[in-house]
A and B are shown apart, each in its own frame.
Chain A
Amino acid sequence: MAEVLLSVRDLHTRYAVGKQVLRAVDGVSFEVEQGETVGLVGESGCGKSTLGKTILRLVPSAEGEIVLDGTDITRLGDSAMAPHRRRLQMIFQDPFGSLNPRQTIRTVLDTALKVHRQGDRPERERRMAEIVTRVGLPADALDRYPHEFSGGQRQRIGIARALVLRPALIVCDEPVSALDVSIQAQILNLLVDLKRDLGLSYLFISHDLSVVRYFADRVLVMYLGRIVESASHATLWRDPRHPYTRALFAAVPSADPTHKRGAPPIKGELTTDLSSGCRFCSRCPAATDRCRSEEPPLRSVGEGHHAACHYA
């Protein structure tokens, strides 16, 4: 039984948009075990990115707990958070916006080490050189500026930044979505190698089902702020129970022209109408009156498999 690294309990994040309150994360609970990759998949507006940022305490949570290494970090102040920040880091989506254009790579990595008082100068130099080589960049990358690198290389720099403090868990927010397919493969392979070599755990957030299928051990499917299905990757692909999960799978085009898909069993588009009942009922092909009035809880439908549907 592996140790639980991160435990999220009934987390809520809300934004005020004018007079309305947007419930971006609306009661999410899950765990990430040591050495595990948990994939968080969903389309735009489902709250997966917000969930990632809330866990990192970049966005304030409204309710719920975030427990890291057994400590509740939900409401810790800045200085109390410092040691936990070393354990929990993030990789961002946009390789162009995630690096300060006016800092050399050395400045980026060294500042992190200095602020967290990780060794004297020779020690820091050694760690920086080591991490840069580990992510597949040449040693002289340290003295260059971000604009001198390609998109894939910048993403490697972002990974180096996330790794330099030796975290245990990395939240990857769409880390390969902005990259070309051939570069995606390089970065995914790198992430797999790093996980194995450094004993990392990942919370891998993506809208790309194919990538999540390849990369995750366990998958959480999100829709409008809630988890609607969770299972191990093999179970989820073999036996998706929630209608939204099925619709998602049906919609992804396969590179096999003989395998033509029918139209996805889903109607209309995302609305944020959370009045009553199941939040998917307006688009669900199998919605009944019960669905419209009663919100289905996330319940067990098999070994390690949960779905939030009355009929799953």
Chain B
Amino acid sequence: MSLLAVENLSVAFPGHVAVREVSFAIEPGETLALVGESGCGKSVTAFSVMRLLPPNARIVSGRILFEGGDLLAASPPEMRAIRGKQVSLIQQEPMTSLNPVLSIGAQIGEVIRHHDKLSRRATRARSIELLDLVSIPDAHRRIDDYPHNLSGGMRQRVMIAMAVACGPKLLIADEPTTALDVTTQAQVLDLLDDLRRQLSMAVLLITHDLGVVAQWADRINVMYAGRIVEQAGIQPFFARPMHPYSRGLLGARVDVDADEHYSSNRLSEIPGSVGSAAGEAGCPFAPRCPLVEPSCRAAPPPLLAFEAERRVACPVTLEAAHHG
């Protein structure tokens, strides 16, 4: 049984549908990357798992099965017991995720004591252990520091400490390093990867950065305008991206290792913008797709399997691949 199985999830806001019929699964201990640009619905999907959507959001359909139980049917007290203990979340902006008027020790302690009723002294000891675990130097002194005494990278480590404090089975990381410098980003992602192995934790990594995905994820789901358009293992995906949007994304990206320069290469663009998907009856990517055919605009293409572990929502590509 998968650790997390999202089945046919659709989430709507007044005026538009953010997530459409999204289905995917995460196995224990693996890192699944949910990749897409702004407006693709990846963050909304993550917040749906935690049941932390804003009040004007409506879950139109679907189930979110965590270890077999449907989170969407859980009561508020049941969800509160799950959040922080079984499923944790870290977000992009450590500046605003931490409470500025409480010391970091107090905030980590709060998480621990909410779930695992420990004494004050035991909580403090555990907090110091956690700060060591996330490589905060001088943990026994820094535990009394306030968020403003710490740098961005250290605050993100504190967030990670809080998220893993109770040994969750699943950690949702929503753009965890986007706001950090690249040298700090590498350190934080390495830390997350180490912790994942040590604590046998699965990670749902939400990001727009394909470099991060290539280095740290096991499997990838590409999202566009609320739908999943491609699912694959990491190596097969980067060796041969199939969906036109995936290919466009990789083509538009400048890779630091590639010897490309404007004087000799032009970046391949995806024309237009994601706004063109609004009101589209067929494939949401059709207005921008170089391979579009009339049949694409009739109905949204389903995710169809291609080889083991790979699914693509583009019949045109699949047809060409089977014949080619």
Contact = CB atoms under 8 A, between A and B. Distances in A.
B235 A258 contact: yes
Nearest to A258: B235
Contacts of B107: none
Contacts of A150: 273, 275
Contact of A209 (B252, B256, B275): B256
B211 A182 contact: no
B208 A207 contact: no
B56 interface: no
Nearest to B209: A253
Interface string B253-297: 111110111100111111101110000000000000000000000
A181 B235 contact: no
Given A253-B186, A253-B214, A184 B252 contact: yes
Contact of A255 (B184, B214, B274): B214
A255 B183 contact: no
B153 A255 contact: no
Nearest to A191: B262
A248 B182 CA distance: 7
Give the interface centre of B248, B256, B268, B275 by most chain A CB atoms within 10 Å.
Answer: B256
B269 A182 contact: yes
Given A185-B267, A258-B235, A270-B151, A263 B187 contact: yes
B185 interface: yes
Contacts of B254: 188, 210-211, 213-214
Contacts of A111: none
A252 interface: yes
A171 to B, nearest CB: 18
Interface in A240-293: 247-261, 263-264, 266, 268-270
A48 to B, nearest CB: 12
A213 B183 CA distance: 17
B267 A43 contact: no
Contacts of B137: 268
A312 interface: no
- Chain A interface residue count: which class? 35 or more
A92 interface: no
Contacts of A247: 183
A266 B267 CA distance: 32
Contacts of B152: 44
Contacts, number: 134
B211 A180 contact: no
B97 interface: no
A66 B185 CA distance: 35
B231 to A, nearest CB: 16
A30 to B, nearest CB: 20
Interface in A190-239: 192, 207, 209-211, 213-215, 233-234, 237
A269 B184 contact: yes
- Chain B interface residue count: which class? 35 or more
A190 to B, nearest CB: 10
Contacts of A182: 37, 248-249, 252, 269-270
B257 A254 contact: yes
B214 A209 contact: no
A268 B182 CA distance: 13
Nearest to A268: B137
A180 B184 contact: no
A152 interface: yes
A247 B257 CA distance: 14
B162 interface: no
B139 interface: no
Interface in B168-217: 181-187, 189-190, 208-216
A4 interface: no
B267 A210 contact: no
A151 B273 CA distance: 9
A137 B138 CA distance: 55
B211 A252 contact: yes
A253 B38 contact: no
A259 B208 CA distance: 20
Contacts of A249: 256
Contacts of A251: 182-183, 185-186
B160 interface: no
B234 interface: yes
A180 B210 contact: no
A186 interface: yes
B154 interface: yes
B238 interface: yes
21 contacts: A180-B37, A182-B270, A185-B269, A186-B270, A189-B266, A192-B266, A207-B182, A210-B253, A213-B260, A214-B260, A214-B267, A233-B261, A252-B182, A252-B256, A253-B209, A253-B216, A254-B215, A257-B234, A257-B235, A263-B190, A270-B181
